[in-house]
Amino acid sequence: MKILDGKATATQIREELKVEVKDLVRLNKRVPGLAAVLVGDDGASQTYVNAKVRDCAEIGFNSELIKLDASISEYELLKKVEELNNNPKIDGFIVQLPLPDHIDENKVISAINPTKDVDGFHPENFGRMALDLPTFVSATPQGIVELLRRYQIKTEGMQCVVMGRSNIVGSPVSILMSRNDNPGNATVTLVHSRTKNLKEITRTADILISAIGRPGLVTKDMVKKGAVVIDVGMTRVDDNTKKKGYRLAGDVNFEEVKAVASHITPVPGGVGPMTRASLLLNTMKAYKRKEKKKFMR
């Protein structure tokens, strides 16, 4: 069994980006800029956003963290989005989700200029991804595919089962795995909470991607021998032995499943760091699109 080390791979990606940024600095060019909007004081969101801003600092991107009170009106938030759309120093920005209940998330996402939507959540970018056009693929699906690519996992002709159909992970990763590309060209089955005979289906998977958010749900008996197992799940579970009082748990019962899998991602240290690295890749892509007037896939 081989660990698909997302942490090490993400470090490698950051190193590659650092070199690109150094070249820009050497040539006296502007460096890429990312802004992150955080509304309210949700602990998990704060942790994610702080990490994203830290990543930018590490590789030499400009970054801006915009913290807004949870009571901000939808109108005021939309105004902020418009400001960022028009800010020439910002190549891309994200609005950290979830937003407070009184704000319509879809409205906010749709207000982001698609050319700066480095989270890839805008309907235009999702549509372009589905049509295999140049776009910003959202960070987690892109991170998964990048991990498979860098570990040279064969996907063509493989049976891939994706667990979960969310707009940000399950659905887009199922599209990426089935499109005519490498990684891709897999035969994909998407399962969800209404799926019958879940175990029979997951056992057909050469590549099993779980994005459901139920700690330990994927057990050994659900996995085919030799399967590649990607665990997207990241749920905070109470743990008094930890300083923070919780630990992050994946969907996969790692100890059991590692005995049958050929490759497996750990939690933490698997898909999570790859998600963060993908946001940086998308920001560099947005920068190049703006500077070179060229939009790459």
Minimum CB–partner distance for residue 292 and ligand NAP (Å): 29
By CB under 6 A, the residues from 188 to 207 that bind ligand NAP are 191-195, 198
Residue 106 binds ligand NAP (CB under 6 A): no
Distance, in Å, from the CA atom of 233 to the CA atom of 97, rounded to the nearest integer, reads 16
Token pair, residue 277, equals 């690295």
Nearer residue to ligand NAP within complex by CB, 21 or 121 = 121
CB 235 within 8 A of CB 217: no
Q: Which of 201, 233, 252, 266 binds ligand NAP (CB under 6 A)?
A: 233
Strand partners, 21: none
Number of residues engaging ligand NAP in binding (CB under 6 A): 26
Of 216, 242, 230, the residue nearest 176 (C-alpha) = 230
Residue 280 binds ligand NAP (CB under 6 A): no
Distance, in Å, from the CA atom of 228 to the CA atom of 128, rounded to the nearest integer, reads 28
Nearer residue to ligand NAP within complex by CB, 60 or 213 = 213
Q: Which of 271, 279, 281, 286 binds ligand NAP (CB under 6 A)?
A: 271
By CB under 6 A, the residues from 58 to 77 that bind ligand NAP are none
Burial bucket for residue 124 (CB in 10 Å: 0-12, 13-18, 19+): middle
Token pair, residue 240, equals 């008094």
Minimum CB–partner distance for residue 195 and ligand NAP (Å): 6
Nearer residue to ligand NAP within complex by CB, 92 or 164 = 164
Token pair, residue 20, equals 């690109």
Q: Which of 223, 234, 281, 284 binds ligand NAP (CB under 6 A)?
A: 234
User: What is the enclosing helix (H) or strand (E) of 86?
Assistant: helix 74-86
Interface pattern 134-173 for ligand NAP (x via CB under 6 A):
------x----------------------xxxx-xxx---
- Per-residue CA distances from 183 to 160, 190, 243, 264, 266 (Å): 12, 17, 39, 17, 20
Binding residues vs ligand NAP (CB under 6 A): 140, 163-166, 168-170, 191-195, 198, 211-214, 217, 232-235, 271-272, 275
